[in-house]
Amino acid sequence: MADRAKVLALYKRILTLHRQKLEPHMRVLGDQYVRDEFKRHKSAASKFVPPFMQEWEQYAAVMSDKKDRFGQELSAEDKKLLDGEQKVKLRSLQDAAKKIVHSPEGLLAMGQIGNIVEQIAALHMRGHNIILVSSGSVPIGRMVLHRQYLLSGSMQSHLGGQVGDNVQFDEKACAAAGQSGLQSLYEMLFAQYHLACSQVLASDADFREPQVRANLQRAMRALLDVGIIPVINENDVITLRTTPLIVENKIAWDNDSLAALFAQEMMVDLMVLITDVDGIFTGTKDNRKLISRFQRGDKQMIASESRVGAIGQKDKLHSCIRAVDSGAVRAAVVAKAEQGVLLRILNGERVGTLFVSDGEPIGDAKVEEQHIDPMYSGIAPQARNRISKL
């Protein structure tokens, strides 16, 4: 009897999905599946719950229970499929910023993305020309490929438990499958504020070619001139880099680097990196202090409770230093993703860690970043420095 109750509940969910105009292939598959299940489970003593039924029930529950697709928190299953991170960068002619959006689990933080879009719209109304640098196509594409993988299997293979959740997909294929979904998300969100956006794909190799860089600048300026917000994403499908994110010349490559490169190309006034901590810190985890203004020549020991750890801070630190030292970017800020943080920064509030170019370059050589392992917390900084160089 339990199986029939599950199937009946599932059928009600599918009717809800019909009203929400779910994709036609999912509606057909769901209806056919329910009919098959009613035929298979006529016996009240049957306790067999096929794997695909569990998959569909979870998917149906995720879709049907979401009253607000924009701000509602995703289910645990949906978070697993959307494993990844979202990073965003904002730029204007007079005030430019870059924002990295995390949920604590490292997923697409839909509420924060909406908050960013709302702030971008407000800044656009003030007359700022804005650029958005975003990653996210890979986790979105992973969900698409997972769904198509389930749909491509036969009903017999699903019922027999031959289709599992542990299948691994090529990252480049995920990026290709997720590009349209990522762009559609931004188009839908910006359209609520009567704004238009466009997609610009770039790879690490593009910045080695002067003509390609000139083309990027010309296209970006043309978009900004008519009030369109460029949405820049790394072209993961054709990028030459592999994991770890190190290119041929041993330079680390990540979305912070991408934002810093575009900030330099477009000569922004301000670049803001928003993360899940309040800024750049000195000291150990238990004895740390926020750096309000990063001073030239300081040798700072970086610590963090962030999920990305010291490596994440190191990437942001070097990106800010490179951008400010280039002379093309006047200032950079690393701050926490909080409600209205971009507007607060552009209104002149002291938020996060500020990097300012006022002459002599800061220089990466003047900054020492390393992970502070708990086992080294009682060792003097000089000793830790020697250990890190071994």
Domain residue extents for the chain: 2-65, 84-388
- Over 90: is that where the pLDDT of 191 sits? yes
pLDDT band at 340 (very low <50, low <70, confident <90, very high): confident
pLDDT band at 98 (very low <50, low <70, confident <90, very high): very low
pLDDT reported for residue 166: 65
Q: For residues 141 and 388, which has the higher predicted lDDT (pLDDT)?
A: 141
Give the C-alpha distances (Å, rounded to integers) separating 141 from 132, 133, 175, 206: 20, 18, 6, 23
Q: For residues 132 and 31, which has the higher predicted lDDT (pLDDT)?
A: 132
pLDDT reported for residue 245: 44
pLDDT reported for residue 188: 92
Mean pLDDT of 252-272: 77
**Mean pLDDT (the chain, rounded):** 64
pLDDT band at 327 (very low <50, low <70, confident <90, very high): confident
pLDDT reported for residue 308: 38
Q: Tell me the H-state helices in the chain.
A: 2-19, 24-40, 51-64, 76-81, 110-125, 137-152, 155-159, 171-191, 210-225, 255-265, 309-325, 341-346, 381-388
CB under 8 Å to 47, separation ≥6 — which residues?
Answer: 2, 3
pLDDT reported for residue 229: 93
pLDDT reported for residue 156: 53
Burial, 374: exposed, middle or buried (Cβ in 10 Å; 0-12, 13-18, 19+)? exposed
Percent of the chain with pLDDT over 70: 49
pLDDT reported for residue 2: 44
CA distance linking residue 39 with residue 5, whole number of Å: 14
Mean pLDDT of 361-387: 35
pLDDT band at 55 (very low <50, low <70, confident <90, very high): very low
pLDDT reported for residue 316: 73
CB 374 within 8 A of CB 285: yes
- Over 70: is that where the pLDDT of 31 sits? no
CA distance linking residue 188 with residue 177, whole number of Å: 18
Mean pLDDT of 225-232: 91
Q: For residues 177 and 29, which has the higher predicted lDDT (pLDDT)?
A: 177
pLDDT band at 36 (very low <50, low <70, confident <90, very high): low
pLDDT reported for residue 254: 63
Structure-token pair, residue 173: 């294929």
pLDDT reported for residue 62: 45
Where does 84-388 sit in CATH, by number?
A: 3.40.1160.10
pLDDT tens, position by position, 61-97: 444 444 333 234 444 544 444 333 233 334 443 333 3
The structure's pTM equals 0.60
- Over 60: is that where the pLDDT of 208 sits? yes
Distance separating the N- and C-terminal Cα atoms of the chain = 66
Q: Tell me the H-state helices in 326-373.
A: 341-346
pLDDT band at 7 (very low <50, low <70, confident <90, very high): low
Residue 86: strand pairing partners: 101
- Over 50: is that where the pLDDT of 349 sits? yes
How far is residue 334 CA from its own chain's centroid? 16
CA distance linking residue 124 with residue 30, whole number of Å: 43
